[in-house]
Amino acid sequence: MSEQTVTIHNPVEDFLRMDRIPHIWCPGCGIGTSVNSFAHALTDANIDRKNLAIVSGIGCTGRVAGYVNLDSFHTTHGRAIPFATGLKLANPKLNVVVYSGDGDLFAIGGNHLIHAARRNIDLKVVCINNLVFAMTGGQTAPTTPGDVVTSTNPYGTYDPSFNLPYLVEAAGAVYVARWTAFHVKQLARSMEEMFAKKGFSFIEVLSPCPTLYQRRNKMGDGLDTMKFYKQVSKVRNGAPTNEVALTKSGEIVVGKFVDRERGDRGDYGNLMHDSLVDALGDDYVETEACSCQ
Ligand SMILES: Cc1ncc(C[n+]2csc(CCOP(=O)(O)OP(=O)(O)O)c2C)c(N)n1
Ligand code: SF4
Ligand SMILES: [Mg+2]
């Protein structure tokens, strides 16, 4: 009997820098699962990878920039949004994705995020929300729900937490959705929709951190968290964002909450372009990379 060699090709492999594998993520972590959805979204939406850049801050989620085989930038903590804004304004034809953690985007980087949303900068933001600062040991973050045990609140948290969809909608985002690491297909579809959108777009992905969140709160491992997500998630597309705040063990409302145009202002890049043309007339020289209008 002759021996046969079977080669199995993982379609996601093309998106990864295989020389960087094995990755640092713990078993049961949800970050890699979200990257799988992202890779599928890029393929299904036929996104031109030559005109795509991905920017991460620092944290376990920040490592995404190092593992994807794309033009990627691993920036300093909290500075993914301003870095991405610079990229987008210098080269408007780029699709610029910010992929970072809840702490990076809403604690140290919170100010940058709300102002990018206010100005309607055309960025696609994916926030992996594991409800803590994971990389540094599981400290309380602005996203940590009440009563959760963390390394800095060993008897339970008592700070109010941000409701991310509500916050970004109020700041001006044109697209807002939330899924969990359990909702891999819905997440990929939302990512595709986000690529079709012009303006500040935001997807929150609830993701297990079994090592530093679930373990301390006696919520089991990664698989238990997937079961928990499945059990308590409720799809409510169009739900008012002030009704989707998270608690430690209550319902998780998921879905697409906001998909709108900003009547008050268009995309920031186009406004900047028009303003320069108005002010400088024939003296305005468009860069080759510019594809405004
Ligand atoms: C200026 C600065 N402050 C603090 C840190 C330490 N630090 C590194 S990652 C991190 C938290 C990351 O949390 P999050 O963004 O939620 O990512 P996660 O690790 O949870 O994916 C902090 C505080 C740093 N690297 N730089
Ligand atoms: S510490 Fe938490 S977030 Fe970081 S890799 Fe491990 S499970 Fe994932
Ligand atoms: Mg985090």
Measured from CB, residues less than 6 Å from any atom of ligand 2 are 25-26, 29, 31, 60, 130, 134-135, 209-212
Give the torsion through C-alpha atoms of 176, 180, 184, 188, to 10 deg.
Answer: 10
Average pLDDT over residues 279-291: 78
pLDDT at 102: 98
CB 23: neighbour CB atoms within 10 A?
17
Find the 147 Cα to ligand 1 centroid distance in Å.
Answer: 22
What secondary structure does DSSP assign to 153-207, as a single string?
-TT---S----HHHHHHHHT-SEEEEEETT-HHHHHHHHHHHHH--S-EEEEEE-
pLDDT in tens, 65-93: 999 999 999 999 999 999 999 999 999 99
Domain 13-263 falls in which CATH fold? Rossmann fold (3.40.50)
- For residue 38, count CB atoms less than 10 angstroms from its CB and return exposed for 0-12, middle for 13-18, buried for 19 or more: buried
- Specify the residue with its C-alpha closest to ligand 2, atom 5: 25
Find the 248 Cα to ligand 1 centroid distance in Å.
Answer: 22
Overall pTM surpassing 0.85 (yes/no): yes
Find the 120 Cα to ligand 1 centroid distance in Å.
Answer: 26
pLDDT at 30: 98
pLDDT at 288: 64
pLDDT in tens, 188-244: 999 999 999 999 999 999 999 999 999 999 999 999 999 999 999 999 999 999 999
pLDDT at 289: 56
Within the chain, strands assigned E span 52-56, 71-74, 95-101, 124-129, 132-133, 139-140, 175-180, 201-206, 233-235, 252-259
Strand partners, 204: 127, 178
Say if ligand 1 is within 6 A of residue 208 CB.
no
Q: Considering every ligand atom, which ligand is closest to the CA of 181?
A: 2
Pocket test for ligand 1, best of 24, 25, 34, 58 (most atoms within 8 A of CB): 58
Q: CA 231, CA 225: separation in Å to the nearest integer?
A: 10
Amino acid identity, position 87: L
pLDDT at 1: 58
- Specify the residue with its C-alpha closest to ligand 2, atom 3: 209
Q: Over the chain, what is the mean pLDDT? A: 95
- Reported as half-sphere exposure (CB side, CA atoms, 13 A), residue 133 has a value of 20
Say if ligand 1 is within 6 A of residue 98 CB.
no
pLDDT band at 267 (very low <50, low <70, confident <90, very high): confident
Find the 31 Cα to ligand 3 centroid distance in Å.
Answer: 10
Average pLDDT over residues 153-167: 98
CA angle, residues 261, 269, 284, in degrees to nearest 5: 140
Task: Report whether pLDDT(293) > 50.
Answer: no
| Contacts (Cβ under 8 Å, ≥6 apart) of 236 | 244, 253, 254, 255
**Lowest-confidence range among 122-131, 204-213, 283-292?**
283-292
The answer, yes or no, to whether the previous bond of 154 is cis (omega within 30 of 0) is no
Task: Report whether pLDDT(157) > 60.
Answer: yes
Find the 100 Cα to ligand 3 centroid distance in Å.
Answer: 8
Number of residues that make up the chain = 293
Task: Report whether pLDDT(182) > 60.
Answer: yes
Going from N- to C-terminal start, the domains of the chain cover 13-263
Q: Considering every ligand atom, which ligand is closest to the CA of 131?
A: 3
Find the 106 Cα to ligand 1 centroid distance in Å.
Answer: 11
Residue with the bigger pLDDT between 266 and 34: it is 34
